[in-house]
Amino acid sequence: MKIFEKFKNLGESLKKTKQELSNKISSIFGAGKIDAADIEKIEEALVLSDISYKTAEELIESVKKRLAKNKDLTADIIKQALKDEVGDKISVKFPEIKDGNDKNIFIIVGVNGVGKTTTVGKLGKYYADRGKKVIIAACDTFRAAGKEQIEVWGQRTGIEVVSGKENQDPASVAHDAVQKFKEKDYNILLIDTAGRLHNKKHLMEELAKIKRVISKSYGSEPDEIFIVIDAGLGQNSLVQVEQFKEIVNITGVIVTKLDGSAKGGIIIDIISRMNLPVRFIGTGESPEDISEFSPEIFKDNLL
């Protein structure tokens, strides 16, 4: 697969973050002569791109050490040093996504309004386009339009959806989907769970139950549990991830709405502070608008 197909639109989705950050850094260097004090000012620009204070501080300290012996600082030299430090932060060697077996189950979780069900639909098409036979379980049974929304996505992408009755126990829908998945020649089962606030204890317990039922029905743990976060929420998303990690074993992050946000810096904290891989990026509204995450492309397009 060609790299521009694998990472389609990733660079384009970072345009707002890149523009905001570049403008701020360019204004810092606009006065002519550059000194160590100018490097300190970059920290604020990083924080405004929603990199945490701690991570921004670490980046700037590392840049200063990298450039300590350089007497003739230019904007390009400083930007390159910053780019290299960002690359070091996000170039963590995570295991590959567990999508290479004959059968794999992914659970998709997240809070309300982050684009989770839309992401499930896009993931279905992503894998179907790569030769996988996909089935989706509509476990959002309490939201009025939850089942209908994923069924529409199934129709748009030609992917079968297993759904239950309104207000049916989501775990029972998941059980039925797993049984069908095991019996037929499907390769990937995507479990679309209801959006839930991380501070609602009964909803988080329901999520844990869904995971237990899937594990028992499947005979082993789900292969991946992805949490979907909204780039526009910035640092608040880290709180969501932490709370969900206490209930289920989050294995990766999917970032949505990055194309409409200037807060792409959150990705650096997800990887470096939370030690979680960013697996996919939502890059638009169409079914094909999802891209695998590439640290190299992210680094080159951030600055």
Question: Which residues touch 53 (CB under 8 Å, ≥6 apart)?
Answer: 47
Q: How many CB atoms lie within 10 A of CB 16?
A: 17
Q: Where are the beta strands (DSSP E) in 61-204?
A: 104-109, 134-139, 160-163, 188-193
> Is residue 31 predicted with pLDDT exceeding 90?
no
Residue for token digits 């300590």?
68
What pLDDT was estimated at residue 6? 54
Residue for token digits 């790299």?
3
pLDDT in tens, 218-271: 999 999 999 999 988 888 888 899 999 999 999 999 999 877 655 678 899 999
Q: What is the DSSP letter of 289?
A: -
Query: H or E element: which one contains 280?
Result: strand 278-282
List the one residue out of 72, 71, 165, 149 whose CA is nearest residue 112.
149
> Is residue 116 predicted with pLDDT exceeding 80?
yes
Q: Give the global pTM.
A: 0.89
Higher pLDDT, 72 or 236: 236
Give the whole-angstrom CA distance, residue 13 versus residue 10.
Answer: 5
> Is residue 76 predicted with pLDDT exceeding 60?
yes
Task: Tell me, rounded to whole angstroms, the distance of Cα 164 from its chain centroid.
Answer: 28
Question: Which three-class secondary structure state does DSSP give residue 255?
Answer: strand
List the one residue out of 174, 169, 213 whose CA is nearest residue 191.
174
What pLDDT was estimated at residue 4? 42
Q: How confident is the model at residue 208 (pLDDT cuts 50, 70, 90)?
A: very high
